[in-house]
Structure 1
Amino acid sequence: MTTPPNPPALSVKVLPALTALASRVEEVRFPLETSDAAAARELRQSLADQLGDYLVPRVENQDAPLLVVVGGSTGAGKSTLVNSIVGSRVSTPGVLRPTTRWPVLVHNPADADHFTSDRILPSLKRVVKESTDLGTPQVRLVASEAVPAGLALLDSPDIDSVDEGNRKLARQLLAAADLWLFVTTAARYADAVPWELLHQSSERGTTIAMVLDRVPPQANREVRHHLSTLLTEAGLGAAPIFTVPELQLVDGLLPEAAVFPVQSWVLGLGRNTTARERVVARTLTGALAAVPARARALAENCRTQEDAAAALADAVDSAFGAAHEELARSLVDGRVLRGEVLARWQDFVGTGQFFRGIEPTVARLRDRITNAVTGKRDAAGPLEQAIGSSIALLVREQAIEALTETGTRWRSVPEGRALLEATSAAPTLPPGFDEALSRTIREWSDSVNDLVREVGQSKRAKARILSFGVNAVGAVLMLAAFAGTGGLTGVEAGIAGGTAAVSGKLLDTIFGDQVTRDLAATARSGLLERVDAVLAGVRGPFDRALATHEVPPRFSGTLTAAADRLEGTL
């Protein structure tokens, strides 16, 4: 195996590129519960820990002390091993689980400045007393002359602790290690969790050494050979193996003879500058080489989030866009004039026989309608109400259709289901919808009457509007606006066609052909604009859910570019 240079020759561009990538990784978020979200969050945290706790500070200062993280399974004897290497009880072992709640970092007094600052593990508060506020994430610093300058030992929590916070912290500490001294026992060295982490550490480039603790003398050769085989198969064949026999402790420490091989090797790294630099070089070089690929994998996870967010937004846009288009069609194809509206129109002109006796002249027609609408009975109000009810029914149908379509598409994917469960978004009409819709239609009806007043300013128009009444002309204008027949069949289509002809001719006598067409178009567009505002309230919970769980657009490309930049400096 080729030995890395001492220290590794790094381009001056590495640190800026590394820092930029670390910033991008810190900014990454996975708000949507896509199928890969859990793994993506774990990768992001792992990469952020490695960049922030190890790579950036190590590249900034390659001469900083070598950090040996002593990690392993529950009850493997990590704290006892650290105490035995140092020769005093600096970390407290225990029989209760979890034992090591917060990490203990043992360093030479001359290296205190390296660890009292937040150069590494900035998220952990520095304390010097074991009893200090155990609820605060912290690392306890212990200065000891037994540890040579240039070396520090960190006793970490169990990697398989019953406490989830301990497990996460243990993984964070491993990401900060120059060397992972993995402690296991003869009974548990083949457990799945440790090997998963050993593989991950190897992929990240961390140098690893094994301590096989509590080995029965008669099983030493067999167990050591099997462990060596497993390490080789995992690509870790170069990792040194130290065995510690199963012995009685002396004043809480392992007998000196039992711990001497691992003790002399570890402490020797601090005393031998060349050996220490080689470990740093090996871990740093391997870790840097592994980062671009991990960052690109994270970028793919970001792309999945971006695609999922776009698909969810498209489901809302397409469903409510379709509702808008369908409503726009319904306002010109005669669907508004169904049933009750046509009945009220016949009432409005004074007789159900009206369409069979239409005189051919507009003047006579106007007189007939004038007589009907200026009598004792005001038929314009019921006609306006019928038109309003018909519009409300069409809008309600399309709102429900849009909600159903959006809900169906969101429920078909895990991220959509999670959003529906986590927010107020729901495929049901919001409270007060019908009241809000009725109010909107009344306001639109009033605006049509205002339009009639505003446009009918000529003497001739004013006189005719006054003879009919503003509300009556407004009602006729509404009919003219909706008087297509594309959505009707049979008798209704025939009646609606007659209605269109009659209402159009009447309005032409008041405003003229072109003005009548413009007024009808203005009335339709005004209604559609107001109805869109109502639909926006219906889709509002979906839009707010997406805004609350916003996925930054094109971040995957930004992250990939940062990874490429770093790779180009290595």
Structure 2
Amino acid sequence: MDRRAKSPAAGAAAPALTELLRRISDARLPLAALGAEEGRALRRELASQIEDYLLPRLEHPDAPLLVVLGGSTGAGKSTLLNSMLRKPVTEAGVLRPTTRVPVLIHHPADTAHFAGASVLRGFERTTEALAPRAEEDLSERPRIRLLADEAVPQGLALLDSPDVDSASAGNRSAARQLLAAADLWLFVTTASRYADAVPWSLLTEAEARGTTIALVLDRVPAAANREVRHHLTELLTGAGLGASPLFTVPELELEDGLLPESAVFTLTSWVMNLGRSEEARRRVASRTLGGALAAVPETAERLADGLAAQEEAHAALATAVDDAFAAASSALAEALTSGRVLRGEVLARWQDFVGTGQFFRGLEPTVARIRDRITATVTGRRDTAGPLRQAIESAAAVLIREQAVAAVSTARIRWEEDRAGRAVMEECGAPERFRVPADFDVQARTAVSSWAEEVSALVRDLGQSARAKARILSFGVDGVACVLMLAALSGPHDSRGRGTLAVAGTLLATSFGEEAARDLAATVRTRLLDRAQSLLSGCRSGFDMTLSAAEVPPRQAGALRGSAGRLQEALR
């Protein structure tokens, strides 16, 4: 089935194509997801074809026909072009790659068209003869040399492109871009290389996107002419190119660097007659344009699949970080409010604070006895509130660090297990982003100490009331602050904290009132949790920074599919 479009109207297709080009230009594929490399290449090629060929041809349907000579390294493209024009217009030789700066030969009357920015927009123009370095790479500074010559009929232009299998990646990319801008691809190969994989892959792609193709079998030994031509014809038929014109050029000695005129006469006549016949030019241009337009929606759908994979990969990395830190956040809240603080050093300092490890067993449920016991301790020779506060601060800081390490480690492991995650971590070149900050311990101790100071300030302010003043004076500001901190951090279901909670709760209730004591404990607890969660969130900044640098626009795949659908509607 012929997939070529039927004489598309510029008025219908151009706006839809312009919108599609904008979507393609905005698309991003920064992650090493499956198919990312293919997607990036497809994005470049589709954008180049729309910008360099489709839109210019739609806007200027009567513009000169662009014939691009393309093929493998050493196929003899430059020699063939010089021989067709009977003069050395492009560099030929044994040095590879020979064509390092593409040369576009056109009639002087068509200079304005090719000198402007309407075609081949990605190439810098020059009219000077160039002597580029052998190692020059067109990706560094893509250029094209324009040469006006009356040997080329008006309405026709011939372009000698770099090798499609060049050792230079930039030259290969430039060759693909130029071939995508061609109205007609003159594929040049040799009797020894006509079945090479790279050019055949490009031929298949060109046929799929509707480019009109003619083939030149160069340097054919007389004895092998029939056999080689027959085999090549079979290959062309199998690739859907059986109707493409096929020309053979025999292997002959050069005369002043040119093939004998008789060797290229048939090819030269066919190409030049395209320029001399307005109808022939229109037919070739219309055929290529229609085919290229018809292929764009399907190509855009393939690109959209790649964009969808990028969206999924980015979302998976973001989810890994969110899940790791959400789990750590929940675990941190549980650790700081379930009584885990009242263990080890804190428990020992608390027992010291109330006077004896047997304190809870001998406790009588009267406020006076509680007050007298604690007052005797805090007004003695030793300052037991200070060590208790230090122990509480240290324990809280340790719990915060534990969950920070857990969150960062889990997120990092999840990224390392993911192809895109591994790549983006390596590419950023900053492994410290994916670790707990070096100064985290200092941050945690500072935050907890600041929280403890706030609690003391809160107790001090509350001591202005007549009811609380006597209690606070009896127990001391630091002592009441420590009791308040432990009341906030001791869990009711924790066996070790149960007695502590009872003592602390009773003391606070008698000092401030039962409801006020509950509110105070809740306030103190919330303030510590807020500080702890802020510290924890700061540890994900490296992951968030990396995700931001590798941002994938949301719903870009859907937007591209929508634009491709509108183009398809315009082509019906």
TM-score w.r.t. the length of structure 1 is 0.96
Distance 1:11 1:130, change over 3 A: closer
Matched, 1:350 2:355: yes
Question: Which residue matches 1:386?
Answer: 391
Is the contact between residue 434 and residue 542 of structure 2 (CA under 8 Å) also seen in structure 1? no
Q: CA deviation at 1:260?
A: 0.5
State the alpha-carbon separation in 2 of the partners of residues 149 and 11 from structure 1. Answer: 24
Aligned AA (2:482): A
Question: Which residue matches 1:450?
Answer: 457
Q: CA deviation at 1:360?
A: 2.4
State the alpha-carbon separation in 2 of the partners of residues 427 and 347 from structure 1. Answer: 42
Question: Which residue matches 2:104?
Answer: 105
Is the contact between residue 128 and residue 145 of structure 2 (CA under 8 Å) also seen in structure 1? yes
Pick which of 368-377 and 17-26 moved more. Answer: 368-377
Q: Name the SS for the 2:70 alignment partner.
A: strand
1:370-417 deviations in Å (ceiling 9; x for gaps): 121122211111111111121122212211221222122111211000
State the alpha-carbon separation in 1 of the partners of residues 363 and 56 from structure 2. Answer: 93
State the alpha-carbon separation in 1 of the partners of residues 116 and 410 from structure 2. Answer: 56
Is the contact between residue 10 and residue 59 of structure 2 (CA under 8 Å) also seen in structure 1? no
Is the contact between residue 434 and residue 543 of structure 2 (CA under 8 Å) also seen in structure 1? no
Is the contact between residue 3 and residue 278 of structure 1 (CA under 8 Å) also seen in structure 2? no
Pick which of 10-19 and 31-40 moved more. Answer: 10-19
Question: Which residue matches 1:568?
Answer: 569
State the alpha-carbon separation in 1 of the partners of residues 8 and 210 from structure 2. Answer: 17
Aligned runs of 1:302-317 on 2, under 5 Å?
302-317=307-322
1:173-212 deviations in Å (ceiling 9; x for gaps): 0010000000000000000000010011111110100000
Question: Which residue matches 1:483?
Answer: 490
Aligned runs of 1:211-360 on 2, under 5 Å?
211-360=216-365
State the alpha-carbon separation in 1 of the partners of residues 59 and 279 from structure 2. Answer: 19
Aligned runs of 1:181-220 on 2, under 5 Å?
181-220=186-225
Question: Which residue matches 1:412?
Answer: 417
Q: Name the SS for the 2:528 alignment partner.
A: helix
Is the contact between residue 336 and residue 399 of structure 2 (CA under 8 Å) also seen in structure 1? no
Q: CA deviation at 1:428?
A: 2.9
State the alpha-carbon separation in 2 of the partners of residues 3 and 306 from structure 1. Answer: 31
Is the contact between residue 65 and residue 155 of structure 2 (CA under 8 Å) also seen in structure 1? yes
State the alpha-carbon separation in 1 of the partners of residues 217 and 254 from structure 2. Answer: 16
Is the contact between residue 71 and residue 155 of structure 1 (CA under 8 Å) also seen in structure 2? yes
Matched, 1:460 2:461: no
Is the contact between residue 335 and residue 485 of structure 1 (CA under 8 Å) also seen in structure 2? no
Pick which of 450-459 and 35-44 moved more. Answer: 450-459
Q: Name the SS for the 1:378 alignment partner.
A: coil
Question: Which residue matches 2:501?
Answer: 500
Q: Name the SS for the 2:360 alignment partner.
A: helix
Q: Name the SS for the 2:423 alignment partner.
A: helix
1:330-366 deviations in Å (ceiling 9; x for gaps): 2222111112111100111122221222122112211
1:450-481 deviations in Å (ceiling 9; x for gaps): 22223343122123212222211111001101
State the alpha-carbon separation in 1 of the partners of residues 4 and 309 from structure 2. Answer: 37
Query: Alignment partner for residue 168 of structure 1, among 159, 170, 173?
Result: 173
Is the contact between residue 4 and residue 281 of structure 1 (CA under 8 Å) also seen in structure 2? no
Pick which of 423-432 and 219-228 moved more. Answer: 423-432
Aligned AA (1:173): L
Pick which of 463-472 and 243-252 moved more. Answer: 463-472
Aligned AA (1:269): L
Question: Which residue matches 1:524?
Answer: 525
Q: Percent identity?
A: 58
Matched, 1:8 2:3: no
Question: Which residue matches 1:53?
Answer: 52
**Unaligned residue ranges in structure 1 (runs of 5+):** none
Is the contact between residue 3 and residue 291 of structure 2 (CA under 8 Å) also seen in structure 1? no
State the alpha-carbon separation in 1 of the partners of residues 373 and 363 from structure 2. Answer: 9
Distance 1:433 1:305, change over 3 A: same
Is the contact between residue 14 and residue 569 of structure 1 (CA under 8 Å) also seen in structure 2? yes
State the alpha-carbon separation in 2 of the partners of residues 242 and 368 from structure 1. Answer: 110
Matched, 1:537 2:544: no
Is the contact between residue 11 and residue 569 of structure 1 (CA under 8 Å) also seen in structure 2? no
State the alpha-carbon separation in 1 of the partners of residues 230 and 132 from structure 2. Answer: 45
State the alpha-carbon separation in 1 of the partners of residues 40 and 171 from structure 2. Answer: 18
Question: Which residue matches 2:145?
Answer: 140
1:217-251 deviations in Å (ceiling 9; x for gaps): 11111111111110100011111000000011111
Question: Which residue matches 1:431?
Answer: 438
State the alpha-carbon separation in 2 of the partners of residues 508 and 290 from structure 1. Answer: 79
State the alpha-carbon separation in 2 of the partners of residues 485 and 460 from structure 1. Answer: 27
Aligned AA (2:244): A
Count of residue correspondences: 563
Aligned AA (1:25): I
Question: Which residue matches 2:64?
Answer: 65
Aligned AA (1:251): D
Aligned runs of 1:63-102 on 2, under 5 Å?
63-102=62-101
Q: CA deviation at 1:300?
A: 1.2
Distance 1:318 1:9, change over 3 A: closer
Is the contact between residue 67 and residue 152 of structure 1 (CA under 8 Å) also seen in structure 2? yes
Question: Which residue matches 1:469?
Answer: 476
Distance 1:558 1:455, change over 3 A: farther
Question: Which residue matches 1:30?
Answer: 29
1:474-503 deviations in Å (ceiling 9; x for gaps): 1100110112154x5xxxx2x421111001
Q: CA deviation at 1:3?
A: 12
1:479-538 deviations in Å (ceiling 9; x for gaps): 10112154x5xxxx2x42111100110011111111111111111111111111111221
Is the contact between residue 405 and residue 436 of structure 2 (CA under 8 Å) also seen in structure 1? yes
